[in-house]
Amino acid sequence: MPSQMNKYLGKALLFVTLCLFLGGCHEEKNPADVPPDLKNIPSFAGQWKIQGMEYDPMKAKPVNIIFLDPENHKAMLGNESYDLELDSLGLRIKADDRENAVGYFLFSEIKEHTWVGSWEDRVIRLAR
């Protein structure tokens, strides 16, 4: 009888331990992943001229204008469409066919007419 009771006690203890462990493991939202309200940051919607990017000399007219549309989470650079992702610190620009961002701009760096950020492996400046 005592050995049978030990069996049940062991199973009950294992069950309680698993319940506590699984119940305590839930994913919380990281505050850094929560984008700010667009009303609380300077407006960056619209057309920006890209300064500091190198272009292919074979192209007749290089594209150096990017259009940012934060309401629809899209950006257009020439005929290429990009996705905009906002986090608590900045704006990430991702190509549809790439997993990594091609551009990142900190909200703290935005000025009235300029915004410094990174594009691929270069530091660039956007100008209105």
**Which residue from 118, 88, 87, 113 is spatially nearest to 102, judged by alpha carbons?**
118
Question: Tell me, what's the pLDDT at 110?
Answer: 92
- Asked if the model's pLDDT at residue 78 lies above 70, the reply is yes
When the pLDDT of each residue in the chain is averaged and rounded to a whole number, the result is: 81
* pTM attached to this predicted model: 0.69
Reference 117, options 55, 37, 51; nearest CA is 51
Written as six digits, the tokens of 111 are 């000025």
Q: Which of helix, strand or coil describes residue 32? A: helix
SS3 118: strand
Q: Which of 4-8, 16-20, 60-64, 89-93 has the highest mean pLDDT?
A: 89-93
pLDDT for 62 beyond 70: no
Query: How many C-beta atoms lie closer than 10 Å to residue 91's C-beta?
Result: 23
DSSP, res 29:
P
pLDDT of residue 21 exceeding 70: no
